[in-house]
Structure 1
């Protein structure tokens, strides 16, 4: 499957932080094992894309070397709009938080892309809106934390004297450091082991605008972003549609869709759909298992027995679900259920 690619701005932000400490990334002894990739990438444009695996390695290695559990929160203090490339500049020139959100929703593939990319979605609450995305795999936990913190801090930088009215922050995984670090940074309610990742914003703050709002420049940036999106492979969006259809059938019908039915809903032949999967080194079976495991994460937090969860996910029995979950996550169902029940 195509690995997730991210904006080189993440690497640049990390490098800026190290240099603020007097550490040169290209000569630091603790980074010698990634010297080759860094030499190639360190001076690339912010909008160029790099493998997520490299960023994960850099963050973990740096956190261990500096003995700094809260590294994520220290790194994002240095964030600027250009670290998110064209999308960051668009946000900084938007007339309101609502407009920023629309652009983020539309052009998010400029920052994070790949066949495993989980799109950012929007839901309306009575007094707030929530930007959220689904849990995919624990290997993305650290990146999800960095992205969450980067979005919040960039919003604060852009709004300057206006407050980003953050109501709640939700993480699908357990806390990765002392919870006081999360509370100090977000200054809002923070919840862990949730069914999804989410940033909940008060409706009253959506009209707040950037100090440097510029409608004319924004239109030029939108055209540039549209051209960049148009140049990306179209099959990625089709694959995302396939993932959404599979997930929706599991959620609403408690039944696994057949590959023939999926092809029909995508207006494709079964052979064309299989070619699409092959192009990404994946298969219908792999996608189905991914969505089953994601749905399982949600159901484990509810009052269902493991037998009932197996039935809802269309497994033959509880043992089949247990084997699939262990193979996908490395954890047993009971381990995960216990973790999710922790306050």
Structure 2
């Protein structure tokens, strides 16, 4: 598991927990602002040290830690999920981008007999009880933060051995909890998936809207229908919906009609998507406060490496190199 990692924003949860206990410096310096990720080995060591220093019951350390989770700890993914209409839509977003927060084992969201199952296997190893319990407890707590409702899990499974007491886990999750299972999973009720979310973070939305407006100003010189299509595409890119049918639906026309109209203007959908993404990417990269991983997510890429490859094709430079040159000039 040497290459596995978690987001630095997620690790910040632990430092905030220790600060609330009056032990802000006990774990050493927190991740630097320039650090996008923290190696899993470091995360494991930090959790173990914090558990040893925490004066509360050792058996419930991960559950108490998870109660402090907020969308900001999931970075731009958390805010993007919070901007969704329902909890079900937010979970789909988290599945798509989970590696930008928790790059350990892949998450899979699928229907099961009880409801909707969010499942993590052991393909990349077993990170241990502290890591797993913190992640799953934080995930369930985040659904409560998103909705403002006491969401209860219908079932929770862990791959790790059974602890001495089950009651604290059942009280926290609100349903039966099993250990020693082949995979880690959380089952949620279909009724809870329809719960509306509390709303998006105003600061992030302001940033997104400002960047989108800049793009539209840059695109003002193109033919009117192309500008309209590009404007619609900006919002779709932000939400990860980057297919021709998605754009056609937003414009209330059939995919075939949209293809014909694009061709009449001398465009293809893929060319329009690439041009729009490039302009957005350059706008985001000009803002030093936006991390490269966040730029990739805002452009609808599930992995930063895919964004880097695309940006090289557009500009001949890696995003970080392009940003340094612009800052220097």
> Does 1:233 pair with 2:295?
no
Normalised TM-score (structure 1): 0.58
Task: Identify if the C-alpha distance between structure 1 residues 125 and 139 changes in structure 2 by more than 3 Å, giving closer, same or farther.
Answer: closer
Counterpart-to-counterpart distance in 2, 1:172 and 1:11: 22
Report the Cα offset of residue 176 of structure 1.
4.0
> Does 1:200 pair with 2:187?
yes
Residue 168 (structure 2) aligns with: 181
> Does 1:22 pair with 2:22?
yes
Kindly indicate whether the alpha-carbon contact (under 8 Å) linking 1:95 and 1:213 is maintained by their aligned counterparts in 2. no
Report the Cα offset of residue 92 of structure 1.
1.5
Report the Cα offset of residue 127 of structure 1.
4.4
Residue 11 (structure 2) aligns with: 11
Aligned pairs for 1:232-311 (under 5 A) are 232-233=304-305
Kindly indicate whether the alpha-carbon contact (under 8 Å) linking 2:87 and 2:146 is maintained by their aligned counterparts in 1. no
Residue 103 (structure 1) aligns with: 93
Counterpart of 1:86 (choices 59, 76, 92) is 76
Return 5+ residue gaps in structure 1 as ranges: 235-343
Kindly indicate whether the alpha-carbon contact (under 8 Å) linking 1:95 and 1:214 is maintained by their aligned counterparts in 2. no
SS of 2:113 mapped into structure 1? coil
Residue 44 (structure 2) aligns with: 56
SS of 1:78 mapped into structure 2? coil
SS of 1:103 mapped into structure 2? helix
Report the Cα offset of residue 231 of structure 1.
6.2
Residue 146 (structure 1) aligns with: 134
SS of 1:126 mapped into structure 2? coil
Normalised TM-score (structure 2): 0.60
Kindly indicate whether the alpha-carbon contact (under 8 Å) linking 2:63 and 2:172 is maintained by their aligned counterparts in 1. yes
Report the Cα offset of residue 84 of structure 1.
0.4
Report the Cα offset of residue 151 of structure 1.
0.5
Residue 157 (structure 1) aligns with: 145
Return 5+ residue gaps in structure 2 as ranges: 209-234, 241-294, 307-329
Kindly indicate whether the alpha-carbon contact (under 8 Å) linking 1:134 and 1:197 is maintained by their aligned counterparts in 2. yes
SS of 1:166 mapped into structure 2? coil
Kindly indicate whether the alpha-carbon contact (under 8 Å) linking 2:80 and 2:239 is maintained by their aligned counterparts in 1. yes
Counterpart-to-counterpart distance in 1, 2:194 and 2:99: 25
Residue 67 (structure 2) aligns with: 77
Counterpart-to-counterpart distance in 2, 1:145 and 1:230: 25
Kindly indicate whether the alpha-carbon contact (under 8 Å) linking 1:10 and 1:55 is maintained by their aligned counterparts in 2. no
Counterpart-to-counterpart distance in 1, 2:71 and 2:303: 23
Report the Cα offset of residue 135 of structure 1.
2.5
Residue 196 (structure 2) aligns with: 209
Q: How many residues align?
A: 219
Counterpart-to-counterpart distance in 2, 1:48 and 1:228: 18
Q: RMSD of the TM alignment (CA)?
A: 2.8
Residue 33 (structure 2) aligns with: 44
Residue 191 (structure 1) aligns with: 178
